[in-house]
Structure 1
Amino acid sequence: MSSVVVYGDVSPNVIDGSSIWLMSVSEVLAGVFDEVHLQLKNYPQNRTLLESVDGLDNIHVHEPEGIARDAALSTQEAAHLVEELIEQTHASAVVVRGFQAVYDFCSYEKISSKLWAYVTDLPFPPSKLSPTKVQRLKYIAEHSHRIFAQTEAARSYWEALVPEAAGKVLLIPPMIPDYAFVEESSIQRADSETLRIVYAGKLAREWRTLEMLKLPRALKELGIDAHIDVVGAKFNKAKDDPQWAGMMRSALEEATSDPESGVTWHGALPRTESIEKIKKADLGFGWRSAELDSSLEVSTKALEYSAAGAVPIINETEDHQQLWGEDYPFFVRADDSIDVVAAKISQGLPNMDAARRSAKQASEYFSMGQARARFKQYFERTGALSEAVKRQGTRPCRLVVASHDLKFMGELMDFLVRNPLFEVRQDEWATLHTHDAEVSQELAEWADVVFCEWAGPSLAWYSNNLPSGTRLISRLHRFELNGPWMQEVNWENVETLVFVSDWVRTQAIERFGLPREKTMVLPNTVDTLDFDRSKNANAQFTLGLVGMVPFLKRPDRALDLIDELASIDKRYTLRIKGRMPWEYPHVWNDPVEKQLYLDFFERIARSEVLQAHVAFDPFSADIASWYRGIGYILSPSEIESFHLAPAEGMAARTIPVFWEREGVSEVFGEHAAGWTQETRIERILQNCDRKNFETNGRSARDFAKKWDIKAVIPQWENLLAGNQTASLVPGPKGNVPKL
């Protein structure tokens, strides 16, 4: 039985975007989990908002406890109640909305490990962020299991502000009820002499709702009979004008009582009734002030208008152009006057039918059906929907992970720690060669399985100090092949040696005389979901190189390529991401390596072309966000065991560009075939056509799915646990049967 707890720091007695979101996410999660437990902040005064979830049997609404009927839960009080719900329901996930709520919930251990945090009120731009708020965001990132962001822009913003969030942020776009969508065959303007316009949402100065009331009269002066239906009863206070909310209410009441105004105010309505009003309208009013043009969110209401067949009047922003198209006829600007808005509406009316179809297509991605599929994928990938098989008298497999560096084990380590089949402890080696032998011995006595990440001195030590019956598994990347410690490994005590590519395995078998049955290939993992992000407009003219140290990475080859490309088409640029060579003392202190890099940088300094077309991006954790602007990922290295950079790039629909080296075809197959300097130039230029670029990007991503965590990590589970954990016998130790 899977269950989730949902809490939004919003009142169920006010109908606005936040409270509607709370109902929407609960409704969507009801199709993903067996049970949804919705904890309310306030006692509901009526069922207007809750009506949409009241009919769903697996949504359980929990009213506040321990407070007065007219009071509201503090975020701390809400956290205590959510902790109790976790205990009662064995919930595997907790979805929380609101900055303060998320921040406070992070302090509760029972919640933190299950917390899916949605911070909607992120200050933007960064200049509005205080150091205190940045630290709080960092705390949230470190103590949340996952983080939600509404748009790609918001996700990139999160990861740039808080590196700890990279790899944790998932998209949660607006959710439009499936019943809101009209059939395409019915998308046509109603036969009516009156142009019907609808506004549904909060009454706020930034939403131009006061100016909106003048629109019917402005249209009438252009010979257009128009009427506005206004749905909503939440009046937002203006920050610098305490009189504004009262003025708005008075203007609505006055307009509604005036038959000549062309305005009818309906007050707050349930979402179902609100959508019915929208379906009867020709246009949906979505004009906003300039300060909202830089918002990191998409207007849920504009999408709802689009789904229901009311063509939205919206600000012309880059995000809106991507969704509704550059030629959309009902774009307005924040600084337009009401007369200009009326004129643009008049000019757009002949294109109403086409605009309706365009708007509906833009909204389809945001349906609740699509949202349900996204959520199911999210929670499945993190194990929140899985049910571990537990039998009486059994215990988890005791697993020790020994390593000096876990940089290639991120997703795997997270999976193992959260998997109830394992009890994980780590033997942290201070360096490749340095460890606390006493601690290692204690862990060896405790373990059922020891896994040495890197076949380094840790493998040599454990192979000679492991108790009888304890399994020993290790992963060899590449550099270990030449390690002098390999002579000390007792191979009889090593059950399985794992490699990231068959090329490295072949070398190890030949060098150490290993039986092939003691080896296996498990590639590096890539979180293809994290890299599934839309490309920026100029990506097809941008080449990327991740990592230029040591010089075996051959960054000079990347300069050769961009030098020639830029001489053909000046739109091409090269971005090199990663740490500089002087940040690695062992490299910068090597006179040969140092001279190679000095020559490299001097070449750029002496070339006007390279100076104009080569840029350097610092090392950062938000690599998936960086790939949004990269069309081609270069792999010019002389030697690699696997090369994660092109694998991640391919997952991001970035086209890989290879140079010949041993083992490259075994890892990248057809994508590594036939590359010469001539074909590199030719293939890149062919992708000037956007359709070719997108087709080849999809092909690269399809190939990368073989490295996805969902494809690779189950193999690790079978290897480490033997897929027989349930047969572990009770007792002070207990061993996992050998494979």
Structure 2
Amino acid sequence: MRSRALVYGDVDLNLIDGSAIWAQGVVQALALAGCEVTLVLKAPVRTGRLVDPLAALPNVTVRRPHEEGLVTADRGMTPKEAVAVLTAMDAEQPYDLMVVRGRRIAGKLAAGPFQGRLWTYLTDVPQSAGEFDGGAHGELTRIAKASRILLCQTEELRGFLESAVPAAAGRCVLFPPVVVLPAGLEPPERTPPAGRALRLVYTGKFAPRWNTYEMTSLPRLLAARGVDAEMHMVGDKIHEDPADPGFAKRMRTALETAQGVIWHGGHPRAEAMRLTAGCDVGVSWRHPELDASLELSTKVLECGALGVPVVLNRTPMHERLLGADYPLFASTEEEVVNALTGTAQDPAEYALAVRRCRAAAAEYTLEAAAERLRAELHRTFPEPSEAVRAAAGARGGGGRALRVGVAGHDLKFFTRLLDYLKSRPDMEVRVDHWAALKVHDPERSQELADWADVIVCEWCGPNAIWYARNKRPGQRLVVRLHRFELYSGWPNRLDIDAVDEVVCVSPHYAELTRKITGWPADKITVVPNWVDDRQFDRPKLAGAQHHLGMIGIAPSRKRLDLALDVLAELRREDPRFTLFVKSKLPWDYWWIWQREEERAHYEEVFRRIRRSPVLAGGVVFDAYGRDVAAWLRRIGFVLSTSDDESFHLAPAEGMAAGAVPALLAWPGADTIYDPRWIHADPGAMAASIAATVREGRWEEERRLGRSQVREAYGLDGVCDQWTGLLAR
């Protein structure tokens, strides 16, 4: 059955600009991914050049609120009006998801009935920490919490959003611009023009920071260099700038009268791309104020798909896209003219620019976008299971969903599993959230016990003891046990006869649990911790192979001191090696800092960092936060130097992020991780890391690690294991 998707953006589809191109791309990608798509128009239709091609697509419906009489004003809908219209349409027949673009409209919808169904595409967010005030942070936090996923155009935007808005971490999904070539348009082979003018092209809005007025001078300036050129400009949206009231008039005059400028006016997207294909070089040169933008120009990618190289500003994002030696980077008018002159006169330079742009655009096809959405749809809307249906029927369900209750005081290790269980069409999930380890509402707990077919107790603590005493006959009780509880007195008080299964995260701790508690082996099962491998799969930053990472350094049994031993060995030969630590500091935990031996340990560790010449400048402490996936982009090796761990998720997260794991042989490590990653001591660990980098094996090793973690601990696989566990 096709998922029903509603699409709305703060977008006027009468005008050709980046937001209109986004609307076209996302509708096409959703339809290709298998959705029934309804596009709701913000503005009354004055030209069908963008709307009509979408309305003609199969499985796409275009709703026109103004023509339907849902809006009376002859203008674009306000966010308040849009919320009313979208809510009314949803009430007719609820949608499975809503893709919305625009912070204001998303903020309004976050408080309404679309919570949990929003797939929010954010571009209009403050793009530096200095621009974030309390209002922006609060609004974006509400939007993040109300959204099932947040669609981010670039990796840079995703990382910034996750660090600035903690609630966004784990919800951000990369959704780059979509490039769709018109049917029948075959990009020609590109060679520098011979015997004719160099054709430059710009499509889109005309605005001051887009340097569109300055572009109209390029033919004249190139003529002074002996280069005959034309500037083709496509679009009809001239920006009215309050800071420069005369801009619109100057811009129009230049479009109509400037030497060598050919103004084509507004055109449907397909025609605009055909005009672009007939030109030699695209111009996307912008004001330096936009160099820090976290967004990627769709027009740059469209030019690339057409084989048209582009003049654009040199930024880190553009260097990663096209290579640092791309020949058409330019930031000033003189640099633009120099770059165009060189390209017009050097066939090899022109050919290089064409190849780079084509290769970059190949990653942004409609098929690639549809595949990204298809994966998210599969995860968001899992297929029902016959085993789950049978389990519900065996408990008197009569065709209803399996009722799953989850109880615990701290669900941070269960969040994504809980999201998954709630998304299943064959399960109904309720949560009994205990206020503290020993504090709960007995009436609420009893309601859950009376209702559920299966109860999952996260932590083997007072919650598990209470439900074991109060469960119904035939009701399944599953208890997930962590290291913390195993060495407390709670397992001894648990009526194990009332428990159907105890879940441990590793074979080592399953065996320890059996030995310490004496519980029957057939009641103890292993379901590993999960790693959201898709979230962590992000491109590495330059220099990552020389960066070690450590996540969590408290309490002292995490052994930061041993990690410093590793770092010191490496830096004696190569000072590029650096240790990045992402953690709360020990004094942030009162229960750690009040212990004398803990304080003594850390005082010695920090004294060593401060005084050691070899460690000087080699240790970086980063703030604790949920933005681990973004942080791991800079990390090439993730260390685990602990005395003991029940699982230690950090190496697995590092592997999913393309870092090489490096572990010491704490008890049970070899039951969780491949022995190739486990080292006898810090010296051996340092030697292995150094050899991996020196011998050029880092790429190979990190690919192997990523493959291993996906197979063993990938979120989808662990979710499948939990589905089978609950359906028994």
TM-score under structure 1 length normalisation:
0.92
CA distance in 1, matches of 2:176, 2:542: 21
Aligned to 1:61: 62
Question: 346-355 vs 474-483, which deviates more?
Answer: 346-355
Which residue does the alignment assign to 1:380? 378
Query: Matched residues in 2 for 1:386 and 1:462: separation?
Result: 28
Residue 612 (str. 1) matches residue 617 (str. 2): yes
Specify which of 75, 96, 104 is matched with residue 79 of structure 2: 75
The match for 2:53 is: 52
Residue 451 (structure 2) aligns with: 446
Task: Tell me the residue number matched to 1:177.
Answer: 180
Residues 512-537 of structure 1: CA deviation (Å, up to 9, x unaligned): 33333322211111111111111111
Which deviates more from structure 2 when the two are superposed, residues 636-645 or residues 217-226?
217-226
> Which amino acid in 2 is paired with 1:525?
W
Of 114, 117, 121 in structure 2, the residue corresponding to residue 114 of structure 1 is 117
Q: Is the 8 A contact 1:532 1:652 kept in 2?
A: yes
In the other structure, the counterpart of 1:250 is 253
Distance 1:284 1:181, change over 3 A: farther
CA–CA separation in structure 1 for the residues paired with 2:682 and 2:471: 51
Secondary structure (helix, strand or coil) at the match of 2:358 reads: helix
Alignment of 1:28-43 (within 5 A): 28-43=29-44
Are the structure 2 counterparts of residues 655 and 348 from structure 1 closer, same or farther at C-alpha, using a change threshold of 3 Å?
A: farther
Q: Aligned pair count?
A: 716
Residues 242 and 394 (structure 1), Cα distance of their counterparts in 2 relative to 1, 3 Å cut: same
Tell me, yes or no, if structure 1 residue 217 matches structure 2 residue 220. yes
> For 1:194 and 1:112, how far apart are their aligned partners in 2?
55
Partner-residue secondary structure (3-state), 1:228: strand
1:157-202 Cα offsets, whole Å, 9 max, x none, are 1112111111111112111004589879934446553222211111
Question: Structure 2 counterpart of 1:707, which letter?
Answer: Y
Where does the alignment leave 5 or more consecutive residues of structure 2 unmatched?
none
Q: What is the rounded CA distance, in whole Å, between the counterparts of 1:628 and 1:269 in structure 2?
A: 41
Describe the SS at the equivalent of 2:693: coil
The more displaced of 69-78 and 565-574 is 69-78
Native 8 Å contact 2:535 2:629 kept in 1: yes
Q: Structure 1 residues 126 and 387, CA, compared in 2 at 3 Å: closer, same or farther?
A: farther
Letter paired with 2:424: N
Give the conservation status (yes or no) of the 8 Å contact 1:98–1:118.
yes
- 1: distance between equivalents of 2:496 and 2:73? 70
CA deviation after TM superposition for structure 1 residue 134, in Å? 2.0
Aligned residue for 1:331?
329
Find 2:562's aligned residue among 557, 560, 563: 557
2:91 equivalent to 1:90: no
1:124-163 map, 5 Å? 124-163=127-166
Aligned runs of 1:84-483 on 2, under 5 Å? 84-109=88-113, 111-179=114-182, 186-189=189-192, 192-255=195-258, 261-334=259-332, 336=334, 339-340=337-338, 342-346=340-344, 349-383=347-381, 393-483=398-488
AA aligned opposite 1:466 = K
Which amino acid is 1:324 matched to? L
In structure 2, the residue matched to 1:668 is: 673
Once the 2 structures are TM-superposed, how far is the Cα of residue 463 of structure 1 from its aligned partner?
1.9
Matched, 1:708 2:714: yes
Q: Distance in 2 between matches of 1:413 and 1:100?
A: 29
Change (3 A) 1:26 1:402: same
Q: 3-state DSSP class of the match of 1:197?
A: strand
- Report SS of the residue matched to 1:77: helix
**Does the 8 Å contact 2:664/2:678 carry over to 1?**
no
Query: What code does the residue aligned with 1:153 have?
Result: E
Pair 1:11 & 2:17 matched: no
Offset at 1:677? 3.4
Distance 2:209 2:234 in 1: 17
Alpha-carbon offset, residue 90 of structure 1: 3.3
Between 10-19 and 651-660, the greater mean CA deviation after superposition: 10-19
Question: Which whole-Å CA distance do the structure 2 matches of 1:349 and 1:224 have between them?
Answer: 14
Cα distance in 2 for residues equivalent to 1:688 and 1:297: 33
Determine the structure 2 residue equivalent to 1:644: 649
Change in Cα spacing, 1:386 to 1:380, as seen in structure 2 (3 Å) is farther
Decide whether aligned partners of structure 1 residues 31 and 278 sit closer, same or farther in structure 2, where only a CA change above 3 A counts: same
| Cα shift readout 1:670-720 (whole Å, capped 9, x = no counterpart) | 443455434422332234369632222222111111212111112212222
CA offsets per residue over residues 498-518 of structure 1, 9 Å max, x none?
Answer: 111111111222333333332
Q: Quick check: 1:279–1:308 contact (8 Å CA) kept in 2?
A: yes
User: Helix, strand or coil: the match of 2:428?
Assistant: strand
1:735 aligns to what?
none
| Alpha-carbon distance change, 435 to 101 in structure 1, aligned in 2, over 3 angstroms | closer
| Contact 1:527 1:708 (C-alpha < 8 Å) held by counterparts | yes
What is the rounded CA distance, in whole Å, between the counterparts of 2:49 and 2:329 in structure 1?
33
2:594 aligned to which of 589, 592, 598: 589
- Report deviation, 1:336: 3.8
* Deviation, structure 1 residue 251: 1.1
The separation in 2 between residues aligned to 1:286 and 1:385, in whole angstroms, is 44
Distance in 2 (CA, whole Å) between partners of 1:86 and 1:384 is 22
RMSD of aligned alpha carbons: 2.4
TM-superposition CA deviations, 1:352-387 (whole Å, max 9, x none): 112211110011111111111111112222227879
Q: Is the 2:381–2:425 Cα contact (8 Å) retained in structure 1?
A: no
Q: Which amino acid aligns with 1:161?
A: A
Q: Which of 127-136 and 470-479 deviates more?
A: 127-136
Please list the CA deviations of residues 16-75 of structure 1 after superposition, one character each: whole Å capped at 9, or x if unmatched.
111121111111111113310001112212211113313212110000142236222221
CA distance in 1: counterparts of 2:140 and 2:299, whole angstroms: 28
Report the Cα distance in structure 2 between the residues aligned to 1:335 and 1:135, rounded to whole angstroms.
Answer: 41
Task: Return the alpha-carbon distance in structure 2 between the equivalents of residues 202 and 181 of structure 1.
Answer: 26
Helix, strand or coil for the counterpart of 2:717?
A: helix
Task: Check 1:271–1:566 CA distance in 2 against 1; reply closer, same or farther (3 A cut).
Answer: same
1:726 corresponds in structure 2 to: none
SS of residue in 2 equivalent to 1:426: strand
DSSP-derived class of the 1:621 partner: coil
The one-letter code sitting in structure 1 at the alignment partner of 2:30 is: L
2:494 to 481, 489, 495: 489
Contact 1:96 1:117 (C-alpha < 8 Å) held by counterparts = yes
Q: For residue 560 of structure 1, report the CA deviation from its aligned partner.
A: 0.5
* SS of residue in 2 equivalent to 1:624: helix
In structure 1, the gaps of 5 or more residues are 256-260, 723-738
CA distance 1:636–1:673, shift in 2 (3 Å) = closer
The 1:337/1:495 distance shift into structure 2, 3 A limit, reads closer
- Larger mean CA deviation between 132-141 and 301-310 belongs to 132-141
CA distance in 1: counterparts of 2:335 and 2:208, whole angstroms: 15
Q: Does 1:688 align with 2:689?
A: no
Task: Tell me the secondary structure at the aligned position of residue 249 of structure 2.
Answer: helix
| Alpha-carbon separation, structure 2, partners of 1:161 and 1:180 | 41
Equivalent-residue separation in structure 2 for 1:22 and 1:252 (angstroms): 27
Asked whether the 8 Å contact 1:181–1:308 carries over to 2, the reply is no
* Corresponding letter in the other structure for 1:607: S
